[in-house]
Structure 1
């Protein structure tokens, strides 16, 4: 059963009428094909109109949609083969960070990403997609392995932030993320980073230093979530919509600020509306960008990567 967000209620109402019409037609053996076609066209028009004028907060809501595809969903649909690799060789395996060698149309890549859960048990197991230090150390270990075997790296970013618990800080959360930032700048293989859902704070940035940093159309990328920003500024979560507007955290905003390199279009209705179509779009995007990056030497890629990130931001003296 499809889950609808608040602003999708008009679509939900029409689709409910459509389902009821089909049930009645089947029960009473009545031909209502023309009425069904008319209603389907109305739903399609409404969906296009609604998703053409989304607010920033609505895009944040879409990035968290419970039916939205996660890292392992994309891996399952994009990759012909996938061998998951575990552990950071220091503490343990972090289920919030997944990765391994994959094959896409005959090309071997290292794919790494944060993984959320679908139900309560999975969410607890995956820690709501919030990695501990060992998750970032595992990610770096896999990146170094990819570099050793000269295989490109793709990271899929979807996290509300790195885990902020006491035990994570004790094991060096800040150091683990900082080391990833440094090491990713110097990787000799192509690196493509894609925000597929939430891109919050250092938890996202810890696997987001790449030659190409892309965002799906209905995602966000910022130092803090709108709710937490609202809590700090207004001491209440009730101003999260205003916070989202002020923060300018959508893919369009990030592209205009030159903080990301491009936007990956989603099917009308969002990535959750058609997992197969979204996975196919993402696969083509990865392959097209890899084809471009493979024309550069490792030295050129590293120089361009460093120059791109050093050019970000504005300094006023």
Structure 2
């Protein structure tokens, strides 16, 4: 298990617990009572730490290397998944995945960014940063789902759309804008869930739906704390302050009315118990689909437009 900087007290207790177990096994001594005391101490320490997380610590959790990504959730939640490839124009973007899946007998179109589980796969997946063809693939799959009247679930986890020159040459901005224009008119239920990082237009490109949800330790904002710090202070050293000022956590997003709900994670984060997290997420998806199916398509579209039109704070003079 990998521990983050602020989890150092938990890591030290785990080390002591392991040494205790090893010593007891080597000496043939029953240490079960002491083990229970250490386990309780670990649980209490973890609870205390996670009750007082800062915005930057939640950003760190959203990037934890063991945190489940899109394909992991689909695998754990669904009985079968048929991945579909390509935008029928340029190529298949590995950073954006999607396809039909069987969610307890309900056919659902799942679409999301995939970061990769090791160094090689992260390079292949471009660290979850999609090119224009990724967003065009996503839109193609959404239109396919609409054609067959199947609900759409997007799982958002990206540090942003790929900012390279070739992406801009192929119309990165247009691709994201086109997705927003088309998603608001989709006649099927659309659920968007931020499962990790939700940065900039890269997240928004598959983030317009009837219900916008966030996992507890995810974040959603126009720019990453590091890049915000670089722009304002010409240094990454103020990333913690930038994270606080951006108000990017699920708690803030919910209070601002920018998301419709926050999904609780297991204590310690989704990576501590991926199976439990997948079960919680699955139950929420199923109940939300059932809720949205009770609303006719025209009303859903109207509510979707009103939702996004009403976001933000401004004064007219």
Specify every segment of 5 or more residues in structure 1 that has no aligned partner in the other structure, as ranges.
none
Query: Which residue of the partner structure matches residue 91 of structure 1?
Result: 90
Structure 2 CA distance, aligned partners of 1:118 and 1:282? 20
Per-residue CA deviation, residues 68-122 of structure 1 (Å, 9 max, x unaligned), is: 0000110110000100000000000000000000011111100000000122111
Query: Which residue of the partner structure matches residue 152 of structure 2?
Result: 153
Structure 1 CA distance, aligned partners of 2:200 and 2:274? 26
The correspondence of residues 18-29 of structure 1 with structure 2, limited to 5 A, is 18-29=17-28
Query: Which residue of the partner structure matches residue 210 of structure 2?
Result: 211
Query: Which residue of the partner structure matches residue 192 of structure 1?
Result: 191
Structure 2 CA distance, aligned partners of 1:58 and 1:198? 13
Structure 2 CA distance, aligned partners of 1:28 and 1:207? 57
**What is the CA-CA distance between 1:137 and the residue it aligns to?**
0.3
The correspondence of residues 6-85 of structure 1 with structure 2, limited to 5 A, is 6-85=5-84
Structure 1 CA distance, aligned partners of 2:296 and 2:118? 44
Per-residue CA deviation, residues 131-167 of structure 1 (Å, 9 max, x unaligned), is: 0000000000000000000000000000000000010
Query: Which residue of the partner structure matches residue 237 of structure 2?
Result: 238
Query: Which residue of the partner structure matches residue 132 of structure 2?
Result: 133
Query: Which residue of the partner structure matches residue 162 of structure 2?
Result: 163
The correspondence of residues 110-125 of structure 1 with structure 2, limited to 5 A, is 110-125=109-124
Equivalent pairs counted in the alignment come to 316
Structure 2 CA distance, aligned partners of 1:58 and 1:234? 20
Structure 2 CA distance, aligned partners of 1:275 and 1:73? 9
Per-residue CA deviation, residues 184-211 of structure 1 (Å, 9 max, x unaligned), is: 0000000000000000000000000000
Structure 2 CA distance, aligned partners of 1:150 and 1:242? 45
> Do structure 1's residue 225 and structure 2's residue 194 form an aligned pair?
no
The correspondence of residues 221-300 of structure 1 with structure 2, limited to 5 A, is 221-300=220-299
Structure 2 CA distance, aligned partners of 1:252 and 1:66? 23
**What is the CA-CA distance between 1:30 and the residue it aligns to?**
0.8
SS at match of 2:109: strand
Structure 2 CA distance, aligned partners of 1:227 and 1:296? 41
Per-residue CA deviation, residues 269-293 of structure 1 (Å, 9 max, x unaligned), is: 0001111011001000100111110
**What is the CA-CA distance between 1:22 and the residue it aligns to?**
1.0
Structure 2 CA distance, aligned partners of 1:258 and 1:227? 25
Structure 2 CA distance, aligned partners of 1:54 and 1:94? 35
Query: Which residue of the partner structure matches residue 109 of structure 1?
Result: 108
**What is the CA-CA distance between 1:19 and the residue it aligns to?**
1.1
**What is the CA-CA distance between 1:13 and the residue it aligns to?**
0.3
